[in-house]
């Protein structure tokens, strides 16, 4: 089976839940087709009995007949379009919901290799393209195909010879229509890819507007957007070119068919082999028959555009999650928070990031991870969260391999404060209780107080109900960080992962939050990833990593006494802080 046929079938499976609406629309389409067929058939008595024989009694019925047919066709067309369009919209809604849900299930490795702007374009632009085409296909294919069949029957019934001559045009038109459709699909797919670049340029420019303004790079961002937009236009222009070409080609072919049929019909009328009414009836049927044929060609163009978008959408739906929950996965039982790394190695690509890590962390122990950039500190936190699975070895929590646990129960035991202080465009209260939906107002306030955020929150215009803007743009870096810490405090998880949790705080705020974190970390297993070594002096153990391996381990005092890598890092930071003070 060809790729296009598989895509068609797959796309149409989304319409099957709404077959009741589709069936009703199909029934109404028979009314539309019957009306067009009746009009073609009634041309014969209109010409022969009214125009030529001058039957004025019958002529008086014509206005009522015209209005009656128009009313019947109008009602049928309304029912058909309403129910088929709603069926198409519901099907597309299901596709968009499934696409987003599936995207949420994909692993972090997928997101590290795909720009968010490109994914947004597929969920919005590509699905919108499918939406317009699917509705148009379901409406037009049903109506025009039924009408075409009805008119073909009328034409063959009235005079099969003339109808057969006219029918030759239909297969002749299929060849250029197919060639044009393939071109449209090709450039539509490329155009949607270019639109992904446009969306990505928008997303990055708006998300990083503070950096853009700070570095005065507005012109650079504008030039980049204009360039991406021009690339999209080049592809979409070719789609327009081939789509516009289909109409003239069909006009030319149908005009040839009409000319041949008209010449043959007139010769038969003059020879007395058929009446004028029969000639006009057949011609009316043939002319009406070509109209749905032309519309079906336009539908084919829309289908090819939809297939370009469908391929990109189904590429995401066919992407397999790297992290798959075992069918026999169990919920992590209540435990003390012991964590063990057994011969754990990990690599993002071919280069190893973590090498043969063996580590046992006792419940309630505070482990600090330090080392140069790229040493693997944040990767260890990601492995505990099971954003990635180890390439080799395993990670145990309270004796359970995390690969044997349900994702929900694992993450219920974890609280993460990341160096990327991401906040949602929602209220302060909603951001604090994110992931703890059952929290009460008093619990939210208590968490904010422990994170030393309550004071500045109450100074906001609407307090805890203040909207903080996209990514918390209305807050300072320190305020954003304290809200993230309040979110972790409220979660009250037995295992804490603090990845540069105080990096954005000033000295006064840092001192307050360090005190809050010290209270929070009591009796909880904690991993602290820190660049500023002054913040982890009181850790139970400090692991010094370099190129994915633990080079040194011990307390702050022990590592300083060793005079190794930790000592050098500490001295470098001490010199930097001293020079900055001077």
339 lies in the same domain as 296: no
In a domain, residue 126? The reply is: yes
| Confidence at residue 581, expressed as pLDDT on a 0 to 100 scale | 47
User: Which residue stretches of 385-505 are H helix?
Assistant: 407-412, 428-432, 441-450, 454-458, 477-491
**Which CATH number does the domain housing residue 360 bear?**
3.40.50.300
- Residue 85: which CATH number? 1.20.1560.10
Give the pLDDT band of residue 358 (cuts 50, 70, 90): very high
Answer with the one of 271, 292, 317 that is the final residue of a domain.
317
Cα 567-571-574 angle, rounded to 5 deg: 140
Question: Between helices 441-450 and 507-521, what is the axis angle to 10°?
Answer: 120
DSSP-based three-state secondary structure for 407:
helix
Higher pLDDT, residue 189 or 415? 415
User: Residues 99, 211: one domain?
Assistant: yes
Strand blocks (E) in 313-437: 339-347, 352-361, 366-370, 392-397, 400-401, 414-417
Q: At CA 105, angle to CA 114 and CA 347, rounded to 5?
A: 60
Both 296 and 359 in one domain: the answer is no
- Model pLDDT, residue 179: 76
Residue 340 lies in a domain: yes
CA nearest neighbour of 300 among 149, 187, 182 = 182
Residue 472 forms part of a structural domain: no
Name residues whose C-beta falls within 8 Å of residue 406's C-beta, 6 or more positions apart in sequence: 325, 329, 330, 331, 332
Rounded distance, CA 388 to CA 556, Å? 30
- Confidence class of residue 1 from pLDDT cuts 50, 70 and 90? very low
Q: Which of 62-66, 120-124, 329-333 has the highest mean pLDDT?
A: 329-333
Q: Does residue 341 sit in the same domain as residue 194?
A: no
Rg (CA), the chain: 35
Mean pLDDT of the chain: 78
Stronger pLDDT, 460 or 341, i.e. the higher one: 341
Q: How far apart are alpha carbons 40 and 277 in whole angstroms?
A: 11
Contact predicate 11/310, CB 8 Å: yes
pLDDT over 60 (residue 577): no
pLDDT at 405: 92
Q: At 554, which helix (H) or strand (E)?
A: strand 549-554
394 has a pLDDT exceeding 90? yes
In angstroms, rounded to a whole number, what is the distance separating the alpha carbons of residues 261 and 164?
Answer: 9
**Residue 503 domain-assigned (yes or no):** no
Last-in-domain residue among 267, 296, 317 = 317
pLDDT at 502: 64
Q: Tokens 């360039």 correspond to what residue?
A: 227
Higher confidence at residue 515 or residue 417? 417
pLDDT of 86 higher than 80? yes
Which among 255, 276, 256, 254 is positioned nearest to 265, based on CA atoms? 276
d(CA 232, CA 226): 10
User: What pLDDT is stored for residue 248 in this prediction?
Assistant: 73
Residue 353 sits in the same domain as residue 286: no
Q: 39 vs 333, which has greater pLDDT?
A: 333
Note the pLDDT tens digit of each residue in 196-209: 777 777 777 766 66
Query: Taking the alpha carbons of 367, 368, 371, 374 in that order, is the dihedral positive or negative?
Result: positive
The residue assigned the tokens 């590509």 is: 126
Least confident of 374-378, 404-408, 508-512: 508-512
CA distance 467 to 350: 44
User: Do residues 261 and 373 share a domain?
Assistant: no
Tell me which of 290, 317, 344 is where a domain ends. 317
For residue 21, the model assigns a pLDDT of: 85
Whether the CA torsion 487, 492, 498, 501 is positive or negative: it is positive
Q: Quote the pLDDT of residue 170.
A: 60
Residue 314: HSE in the Cβ half-sphere, 13 Å Cα cutoff: 17
Tokens 């990031």 belong to which residue? 353
Reduced to 3 states (helix: H, G, I; strand: E, B; else coil), residue 70 is helix
Q: What is the pLDDT of residue 42?
A: 64
Contact 483/471 with Cβ under 8 angstroms?
no
> Which domain, by its residues, includes 373?
330-413+533-582
Contact between 242 and 191 under an 8 Å Cβ cutoff? The reply is no
The whole-angstrom distance between residue 525's C-alpha and the CA centroid of its chain comes to: 37
**pTM: predicted TM-score of the whole model, two decimal places:** 0.72
Kindly report the CA angle at 509 between 508 and 510, in degrees rounded to 5?
90
Q: What are the residue ranges of helices labelled H in 318-356?
A: none
Is residue 510 in a domain? Answer: no
Residue 526 lies in a domain: no
pLDDT at 568 over 60: yes
Measure CA of the first residue to CA of the last residue in the chain; give whole Å. Answer: 74
Q: How confident is the model at residue 510 (pLDDT cuts 50, 70, 90)?
A: low
- Tally of domains within the chain: 2
Does position 342 have pLDDT exceeding 90, yes or no?
yes
Residue 438 within a domain:
no
> Which ranges constitute the DSSP H helices of 159-271?
160-167, 169-207, 209-214, 218-270
Residue 153 CB-half CA count within 13 A: 11
List, for residues 133-172, the tens digit of each pLDDT value: 666 666 667 677 777 777 777 777 777 777 777 666 666 6
Q: What is the mean pLDDT of residues 380-393?
A: 90
**pLDDT above 90 (res 339):** yes
pLDDT at 115 over 60: yes
| Res. 337: pLDDT tops 70 | yes
| Structure letter (DSSP) for residue 136 | H
Report the candidate in 280, 292, 294 with the shortest Cα–Cα distance to residue 248.
294
Q: Are residues 295 and 355 in the same domain?
A: no
Supply the pLDDT for residue 575: 61
CA distances from residue 11 to 4, 24, 178, 321 in whole angstroms, order as listed: 10, 20, 20, 22
Asked whether residue 339 is assigned to any structural domain, the reply reads yes
The answer to whether residues 345 and 309 belong to one domain is: no
Residues 307 and 338 in one domain: no
Asked whether 346 and 379 are in contact (CB, 8 A), the reply is: yes
Distance of CA 12 to CAs 49, 95, 204, 296, Å?
A: 48, 11, 35, 18
**Which strands form 525-529's sheet, in the order they lie side by side?**
414-417, 495-499, 525-529, 366-370, 541-546, 549-554
> What is d(CA 24, CA 41) in angstroms, rounded to the nearest whole number?
26
Do 356 and 293 sit in the same domain of this protein? no
Say how far apart CA 265 and CA 259 lie, in whole Å: 10
Whole-angstrom distance, CA of residue 213 vs CA of residue 219 = 10
Same domain, yes or no, for 218 and 342? no
**How many whole angstroms separate alpha carbon 509 and alpha carbon 482?**
9
Q: Are 340 and 395 in contact (CB under 8 A)?
A: yes
Question: What does the pLDDT average to over 312-329?
Answer: 85
The C-alpha atoms of residue 561 and residue 577 are separated, in whole angstroms, by: 21
**Which of 419, 380, 379 has the alpha carbon at shortest distance from 503?**
419
- Same domain for 164 and 296, yes or no, is yes
User: Would you state the pLDDT for residue 582?
Assistant: 46
pLDDT at 322: 84
């Amino acid at each position: 089976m060809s790729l296009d046929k598989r895509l068609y079938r797959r796309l149409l499976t989304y319409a099957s839940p709404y077959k009741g609406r589709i069936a009703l629309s199909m029934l109404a389409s028979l009314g539309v087709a019957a009306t067009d067929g009746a009009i073609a058939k009634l041309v014969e008595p209109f010409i022969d009995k009214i125009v030529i024989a001058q039957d004025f009694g019958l002529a008086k019925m014509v206005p009522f007949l015209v209005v009656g047919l128009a009313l019947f066709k109008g009602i049928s067309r309304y029912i058909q379009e309403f129910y088929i369009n709603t069926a198409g919209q519901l099907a597309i809604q299901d596709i968009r919901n499934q696409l987003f849900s599936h995207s949420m299930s994909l692993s972090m490795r997928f997101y590290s290799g795909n720009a968010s702007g490109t994914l947004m374009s597929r969920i919005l632009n590509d699905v919108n393209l499918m939406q317009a085409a699917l509705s148009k296909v379901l409406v037009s294919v049903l109506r025009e195909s039924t009408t075409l069949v009805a008119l073909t029957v009328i034409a063959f019934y009235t005079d099969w010879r003339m109808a057969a001559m006219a029918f030759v045009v239909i297969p002749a038109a299929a060849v250029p229509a197919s060639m044009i459709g393939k071109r449209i699909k090709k450039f539509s797919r490329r155009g949607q890819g270019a639109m992904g670049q446009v969306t990505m340029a928008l997303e990055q420019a708006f998300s990083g507007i503070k950096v853009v303004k700070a570095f005065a790079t507005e012109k650079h961002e504008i030039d980049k957007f204009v360039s991406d937009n021009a690339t999209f236009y080049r592809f979409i222009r070719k789609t327009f070119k081939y789509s516009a070409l289909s109409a003239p080609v069909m006009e030319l072919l149908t005009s040839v068919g009409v000319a041949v049929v008209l010449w043959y019909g007139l010769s038969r009328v003059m020879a007395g082999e058929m009446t004028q009414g029969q000639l006009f009836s057949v011609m009316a049927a043939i002319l009406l028959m070509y109209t749905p044929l032309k519309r079906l060609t336009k539908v084919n163009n829309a289908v090819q555009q939809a297939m370009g978008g469908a391929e990109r959408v189904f590429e995401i739906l066919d992407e397999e999650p790297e992290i798959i929950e075992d069918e026999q996965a169990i919920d992590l039982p209540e435990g003390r928070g012991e964590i063990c790394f057994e011969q754990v190695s990990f690599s993002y690509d071919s280069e190893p990031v973590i090498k043969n890590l063996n580590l046992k962390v006792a419940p309630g122990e505070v482990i600090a991870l330090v080392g140069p950039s790229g040493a693997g500190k944040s990767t260890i936190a990601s492995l505990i969260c099971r954003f990635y699975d180890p390439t080799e070895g395993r990670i145990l929590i309270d004796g359970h391999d995390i690969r044997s646990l349900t994702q929900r129960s694992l993450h219920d035991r974890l609280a993460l404060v990341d160096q990327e202080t991401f906040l949602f465009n929602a209220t302060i209260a909603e951001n604090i209780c994110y992931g703890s939906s059952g929290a009460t107002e008093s619990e939210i306030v208590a968490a904010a107080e422990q994170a030393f955020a309550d004071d500045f929150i109450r100074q906001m215009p609407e307090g805890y109900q203040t909207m903080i803007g996209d990514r918390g743009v209305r807050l300072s870096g320190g305020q954003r960080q304290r809200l993230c810490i309040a979110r972790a405090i409220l979660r009250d998880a037995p295992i804490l992962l603090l990845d540069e949790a105080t990096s954005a705080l000033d000295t006064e705020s840092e001192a307050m939050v360090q005190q809050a974190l010290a209270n929070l970390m009591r009796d909880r297993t904690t991993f602290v990833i820190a660049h500023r070594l002054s913040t982890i002096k009181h850790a139970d153990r400090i692991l010094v990593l370099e190129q994915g391996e633990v080079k040194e381990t011990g307390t702050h005092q022990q590592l300083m006494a060793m005079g190794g890598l930790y000592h050098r890092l500490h001295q470098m930071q001490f010199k930097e802080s001293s020079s900055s003070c001077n």
